[in-house]
Structures are given as structure tokens and as C-alpha cells.
Structure 1
Amino acid sequence: MDEYVVSAVFQTHSAAEQAVRKMGEAGLPIKQASIVGQNLQSTEQVHGFITTGDVARGSAGVGAWVGGIFGLLVGAAFLWIPGVGPLVVAGPFVASLIAGLEGAALGAAGGALVGGLVGYGLKRDKALKYETAIKAGSYLVLMHGSETECSQAKEILSAQGGQDIALEAKGK
């Protein structure tokens, strides 16, 4: 049986998390889903006074998201990727990304994130687009599985507002 990968970009981590939850509600295997995002710890205040309570409330929201989504997805890592910066990865994509980092450390061409995405089954041009989206603050949702599972996931990702959605056969 061929393995496929479906991917989509979301503008917010809450939208990415909601899409993964919808896939789970539809009976898709969440253990095969991953979310990749950056800057989850940053909080911006435009003007005014800030108190420790303000910071705690903002951090609690980030902590709730990280805890909630990590509870759904198998495996999680916080990594510092050269050229990308801090990256939080939840799901089975962690192993592929770590392999990409090892390859980059050994002098492989291209960035570690792009290498990890290509190793996961995405085409290089799509991986480059996704790296750019992640650097810009978007979140990438990935899921691997059978053609039927990934086709169903693609429909859900689209219905949830995913952008730049792709469905590809791994290794082809």
C-alpha cells in the first residue's frame, strides 16, 4: 500500500489545532498528524502598561495550546533550526526533522527544515514554500497515511481554511 502525505498552511496556531481536532473527530489517525510552528512563546504589547498578570495570562494561553495539542499528537520537540529559529514540532514529523538536522550537520545541501520536509515526502519546491510560510509566522499541518485517509484529511483541511494544500505520494 502506497503512503501519502497531505499538508496545509494555517495563519494561526488555533486554526491549525482546530483542523487537527476535526481530523480526529472524523476518525482519522491523529498519531499520523503533525503541526510545525514558530514563535509560540512571543507576546506583543502595542502600548500601555504591562503587569506580571498580563504576561502570565498570555503565557497561559500559549501553554494551554502547547499542552493541548501535544496531548493529541505523538512526539513533540522544541528545536532551534539555523536560518529558521525556534520551532515547535508536534507529531511524527519530529523524527524526519531530526534526521534533516543530522544531515545538515554533515554538510547536506539546503536547510534542515526543507530537508526534513523533503524526507517526509514533500516535493522540494513545496518544502521551500512551507519553510517561507513558517518563517513568516504561519503553521504547517502534515498528515501521512493511505490515499483514502489523506484525501479525507485534505477535504477537512480545506474546509477548515487551510491554504496551499497539497496531497502527494511519499517518495514519488
Structure 2
Amino acid sequence: MDIKNSPAYIYNTHLEAEDAIRSLSKSGFDVKKLSLIGKGYHSEEQPIGFYTTGDRIRSWGGNGAFWGGIWGLLMAPAVFFLPGFGLLAMAGPVVTALVAALEGAMVVGGLSAIGAALSQIGVSDKQIIKYEMALKVDKYILMVHGNADDLAHAHSVLADAVAAT
């Protein structure tokens, strides 16, 4: 049975988030049960882009190598422009929740689109505010999905990482 309220870890940099994902992968955790959300870019002189070639996602720009590598591991990569957040890159089951929230006009009750998606997967209102604030200051949110054993496995791997739940 999958746990509806998925725990999330907040990372200050894309390197910290990538290290956490790679640690989970090396431990045998199914990385398809992870979601990652972050801005993944900063203003710079060079162009920023994301595109698909067949079944591969290609990207370039300041953190293009990071997102390209992460998208090779996680499922359902996507990029959205969301009011209040700007351009957000994400991958994993949270993408499906965001698309459902946008298509179903679930963005009600003062929630942002990302807040509606997080609510749909069982994140509490208090945690939604925390995660939205983290995204607004360019942090990365790594969410773990799955059953109780999956969550315990991920927690044991990430316990030593520089992250806060």
C-alpha cells in the first residue's frame, strides 16, 4: 500500500539533491518513486532550454547537465511556468498530480497550482506553505513516494544527508 502523505526533503543546492538521489539509487531504492521540484536556473547570459529528442530529454543552460542527468533517472520530466514561482523543472509522480490539478481546475481555495498538486498527494497545508517558500528561494524539494518500507529505506539512506524534512 502506498503512503499518501509522502515525506519531502529540502536541499539548498542541486548538488545536494543530486547526491541524495544517487545515494538512494546506489542503495537499491527504486528512483521512479521519487519526485524532484526546483527552479533549476538563474538569470545568465546564455540561453536556457529544454526539449525532447525521441524518448530523451535534452537541456542546456546553467544547470542543464544537472537536469539532464536527473531526468535520465526519474520519470515524467516536465517544465512549467507557474505564476509566483516562474519556471519550475520537475520529475516524478508529482508531475502527474500537477497536470491533474491544472487540467481539472483544482486550483481553488487560495492554493497555487503547485500547492494544489501537493495537496492532491496528501501534503498538509502547513507543509505546502513550507515547500512553496523553499521553492521561491531556489531550493529543491525531493519527495519520496511508496509504501512504509520504501519510506523507511529512503529515510535510513537520507538520514545522514544535509536535508530537512
Instruction: Give TM class, smaller chain.
Output: 0.7 to 0.9
Q: Evaluate the alpha carbon distance shift between residue 85 and residue 60 of structure 1 in structure 2; reply closer, same or farther with a 3 A threshold.
A: closer
C-alpha distance in 1, partners of 2:75/2:2?
Answer: 22
Query: What is aligned with 1:148?
Result: 149
Give TM-score scaled by structure 1 length.
0.79
Partner Cα separation in structure 2 for residue 134 and residue 65 of structure 1: 17
1:79-125 deviation digits (Å, cap 9, x = unpaired): 0112221100111210011122234x465221111111111221111
Specify which structure has the higher proportion of helix: 1
> Which one has the largest radius of gyration?
1
1:34 aligns with 2:18: no
SS of 1:86's partner is strand
- After superposition, the Cα gap between the structure-2 partners of 1:106 and 1:16, relative to the gap in structure 1 and judged at 3 Å, is closer
- CA spacing shift, 1:127–1:17, aligned 2, 3 Å: same
Tell me how far 1:43 sits from its aligned partner.
Answer: 4.5
**Superimposed CA distance per residue, residues 5-27 of structure 1 (whole angstroms, 9 cap, x where no aligned partner):** 22110000111111011111111
Matched, 1:93 2:94: yes
Which runs of 5 or more residues in structure 1 are unaligned?
45-49, 53-58, 166-172
1:124 aligns with 2:104: no
Deviation at 1:72, TM superposition (A): 0.4
Q: Distance in 2 between matches of 1:87 and 1:71?
A: 17
Pairing 1:11-50 to 2, within 5 Å after superposition: 11-38=12-39, 40-43=40-43
- RMSD between aligned residues: 2.0
**Contact 1:81–1:112 (CA<8 Å) still a contact in 2?**
yes
Larger deviation: 126-135 or 148-157? 148-157
Q: Residue in 2 aligned with 1:75?
A: 76
Residue number in structure 2 paired with 1:170: none
Which of structure 1's runs of 4+ aligned residues deviate more than 4 A? Answer: none
Identity across aligned pairs (percent)? 33
Aligned counterparts of 1:27 and 1:107: Cα–Cα separation in 2: 36
SS of 1:160's equivalent in the other structure is coil
The equivalent residue for 2:138 is: 137
> With structure 2 as the length reference, what TM-score do the two structures score?
0.82
Are the aligned partners of 1:8 and 1:141 in contact in 2 as well (CA < 8 Å)? yes
